[in-house]
Chain A
Amino acid sequence: MSWATRILKVGRIVQASPAAPARTVPSPTGTRASLQIRHVDAGSCNGCELELSGAFSSVYDAEQFGARLVASPRHADALVVTGVVTHNMRGPLIDTLAATPEPKLVIAMGDCACDGGMFRNGYGVAGAVGDFVPVDVELRGCPPTPDQIVETLRKVTGR
């Protein structure tokens, strides 16, 4: 129970969030503050995954802006794709997008996903995310920090 007492002492762990950024991407269904995300690791070094889970942790709490990670692309409004697209993940990436109901977004997260980053010319690499599926939002950084992730998500959810 020690962490519970700590919560009681400290109060909220979540850090204060800045004012909502301007909404640059229209949220897919026109519903504010509701964005279900299916995460696809297309061949990442797992650095981006660490930061992504950080963004949904108690400190950054992306959920307060209406974003939530879900288990099936059928439930999702957006795919967050991390890493370069390897030959083996190319098919699954395309399938996953096809399994997602319209309207939908693709968020390419990290330098690798945006343009191949440091793995651009690797032997197992098929290309960047944009080479295979249409990318709606690019999130640069290697890896992007949770703050950046949250900010990008807020631009989509509009909250």
Chain B
Amino acid sequence: MKRDPVASGTAVRSGTGVASGAPAVSGGVTAALGALGVVVGLRAVFGAPLHASIGWLVPFAGLRIDLDPLGGAFMALTGAVAAAVGVYAIGYARREHWARFPLVMLPVFVLTLLVVPAAGSVTTFLFGWEAMALTSLALVLTEHHRDEVRSAGLFYAVLTQIGFVAILVALVSLSSASGSGDFAGIRAAAGDLGPALRNGVFLLTVVGFGSKAGLLPLHAWLPRAHPEAPSPVSALMSAAMVNLGIYGIVRIDVQALGGGPRWWGTTLMVVGAASAVFGVLQASVSADLKRLLAYSTTENMGLIAMAIGASMLLGASGLASVAAIALTAALLHLVAHAAFKALGFLAAGSVLAGTGLRDLDRLGGLARRMPYTTVLFGIAALGATGLPLGAGFVGEWLLLQSLIHTPQGDNTLLSLVIPLSIGALALTTGLGIVAMVKAFGIGFLARPRSEGAEKAREASPTMLVGMALAALGCVVVAVAPAALGPALTRVASTLPSVGGDQGPKLGAILRLPGAAGSVSPAILAAAFAVAISLVLLLARWGVGARPAAVVRPLWAGGGPALTPRMQYTATSFAEPLQRVFDDVLRPDTDVAVTHVAESRYLIEKITFRTAQADAVEEHLYWPVVRAVAAVARGVRKAHTGSIHLYLLFGTIGLLVVIVVGR
């Protein structure tokens, strides 16, 4: 977790030496690919669908591109993130002395990210998916000389392959049952599939795609791999790659299968709610800036999954117009999250590059040393809190509205699920505020808590431009979500099973169809500006009688001057919360008291240590790993090397097969 400042500079420096223009080429190509993705994606959203197939490119079935508005929207979103990241990467790679390998892999990774939503057939999709997983894994391992990175890579490799197997089984069985290898064919045949197959496919996709989106329980790779990757890669993973997990669920379960029974939606809501609450709890007690952001990704993906689950549940309950609100919430929050999370990780990368630190307990005082980065991170953090004037507000508002507007009547399932989801959503937003106040307040304000933070230097111009692009996205979503309205309407219209054709109108005032409810972020922002100017006027009261303003040292309670070490740290900031939720978080704390030799009433020193592990990981994964290891040890006992014994095993096995098979 802690990096010494020297190592960060030399971390990826290679012996071969990279031409000084290489970062510009790599970043430029990445940004250009991203821009291309935006253009092509938007054309597909608004214009005619794009079809192409290249027979020789992918083994067995050829590459098949089929870009409809749904895929186009995800492609455009990915492209937008990639464009910002590409520009940023120019400066970042230069400052961090990237070797040739990551420089080459970065645009390749973006390319795979763009291919996945464009895939029209199962083979192309799986090919793109696996290519995406492998390139991102390679990028995560950029700084492979650090232990944390290697462990993160292992986690990532294992979990992503488990996920891949689930997706593979789901898609292959789907395409063999429907007799068609492309999504359009599957969709046409979906109605005739048996319920067992459909249910099986649904569960497998939730597991497989959910793992990519960082949903519980296969989330553990995310808070490890995202922070350990170089920051531009973290941004791509957390703002673009996770979206494709959601894309998979929407593409297969909502669009191709056209929704399912009500327990589908309920399942997704439960998984989403659990991920959201768990993610945000971990984020709010995390003291590592990038890990905090990664857990916040799990949180937001959980919210989005919850929204999609709600729209499936409501769609299956025949409440199409309310389902459409939930769907819009999911899509809008996806865009918002991409914007603020990309910005968040890029800003965290600037901090890392500028200080060599990502441990909040040692940061602080950046507002004076890195003013632009501070403002930009502030925009991202405000977006992540879900408060008004931030990017996350409208999406969460829509989700809440869809839950409020659900007519419950005597539908027991709905009247049970909906209030509980509101509770989960509410808890998530509350804790999300804490996490972001901590990240911003402890990390950027006050005084530096270490030498690294003391010597922080501002990000380079290209890095700032990249971040500014992402910030622009945040501001648009926050103040003028109406700009996204037409695109969202087009996307939603491809998803009739969740009432996509009757979604809310995203005008200057957001109005909900068939329900009284509206909000206008733009007018609120304007009114807020008026209110602030009114306060400025009020503050002039008595100005004539006021002595001249002065700057004075901090009031230290009369004691000697306060040192930076006396400040609250991220750990102490989260301590009350950790105490409140210690049943869930199960922090590992330890107090050791050393008494002086002469008397046990006198204390020489007290050592306090606290560590926050991932509770799910601790109590779910490790038992499984241990069980597998135990079985493996048992199997090893049977391996004596005696050929007679093996023959005996073989005979017994054959007999069992015959007896069972008969």
Q: Do A and B come from one complex?
A: yes
Q: A98-B552, A99-B552 are in contact. Are A92 and B559 (CB under 8 A)?
A: yes
State the CA gap A152–B558 with chains docked (Å). 26
B556 contacts A95, C-beta separation under 8 Å: yes
Cβ of B658 under 8 Å from chain A = no
Residues of B within 8 Å of A72, CB to CB, are 555
CB distance from A139 to the nearest CB of B (A): 22
Residues of B within 8 Å of A92, CB to CB, are 558-559
CB distance from B609 to the nearest CB of A (A): 33
Q: 3 closest pairs, A vs B, by CB? A: A92-B558, A102-B547, A99-B555
Cβ of B545 under 8 Å from chain A = yes
Cβ of A124 under 8 Å from chain B = no
State the total of A-B contacts with C-beta under 8 angstroms.
20
Residues of B within 8 Å of A73, CB to CB, are 555
Residues of A within 8 Å of B559, CB to CB, are 92
Interface string of A3-41 (1 = CB under 8 A from B): 000000000000000000000000001100000000010
CB distance from A157 to the nearest CB of B (A): 18
Binding site for A on B (CB under 8 A): 545, 547, 552-553, 555-556, 558-559
A30 contacts B545, C-beta separation under 8 Å: yes
A95 contacts B547, C-beta separation under 8 Å: no
Cβ of A96 under 8 Å from chain B = yes
Cβ of A103 under 8 Å from chain B = yes
State the CA gap A103–B556 with chains docked (Å). 21
Please tell me the number of chain A residues within 8 Å of chain B, measured between CB atoms.
15
* Chain B residue, CB-CB nearest to A72: B555
B558 contacts A96, C-beta separation under 8 Å: yes
Residues of B within 8 Å of A40, CB to CB, are 558
Further pairs besides A74-B555, A95-B556, A102-B547: 6, Cβ < 8 Å: A72-B555, A92-B558, A93-B558, A98-B552, A98-B553, A99-B553
Interface string of A67-99 (1 = CB under 8 A from B): 000001110000000000000000011011011
State the CA gap A96–B552 with chains docked (Å). 11
State the CA gap A73–B553 with chains docked (Å). 13
* Chain A residue, CB-CB nearest to B547: A102
Residues of A within 8 Å of B556, CB to CB, are 95
* Chain B residue, CB-CB nearest to A94: B558
Name, among A73, A92, A95, the residue most crowded by chain B CB atoms within 10 Å (CB to CB).
A95
7 A-B pairs, CB-CB below 8 angstroms?
A: A29-B545, A40-B558, A74-B555, A92-B558, A95-B556, A99-B553, A101-B547
Residues of A within 8 Å of B558, CB to CB, are 40, 92-93, 95-96
CB distance from A74 to the nearest CB of B (A): 6
Residues of A within 8 Å of B552, CB to CB, are 98-99
State the CA gap A74–B556 with chains docked (Å). 11
CB distance from A26 to the nearest CB of B (A): 13
State the CA gap A70–B558 with chains docked (Å). 15
* Chain B residue, CB-CB nearest to A95: B558
State the CA gap A92–B558 with chains docked (Å). 4
State the CA gap A99–B556 with chains docked (Å). 9
Residues of A within 8 Å of B555, CB to CB, are 72-74, 99
Residues of B within 8 Å of A101, CB to CB, are 547
State the CA gap A101–B549 with chains docked (Å). 9
* Chain A residue, CB-CB nearest to B556: A95
CB distance from A61 to the nearest CB of B (A): 28
State the CA gap A92–B561 with chains docked (Å). 10
CB distance from A115 to the nearest CB of B (A): 23
* Chain B residue, CB-CB nearest to A103: B547
CB distance from B289 to the nearest CB of A (A): 32
State the CA gap A103–B546 with chains docked (Å). 9
State the CA gap A103–B545 with chains docked (Å). 10
State the CA gap A98–B547 with chains docked (Å). 14
State the CA gap A102–B558 with chains docked (Å). 18
State the CA gap A95–B558 with chains docked (Å). 6
CB distance from B412 to the nearest CB of A (A): 46
* Chain A residue, CB-CB nearest to B558: A92
CB distance from A39 to the nearest CB of B (A): 12
State the CA gap A35–B84 with chains docked (Å). 56
* Chain B residue, CB-CB nearest to A74: B555
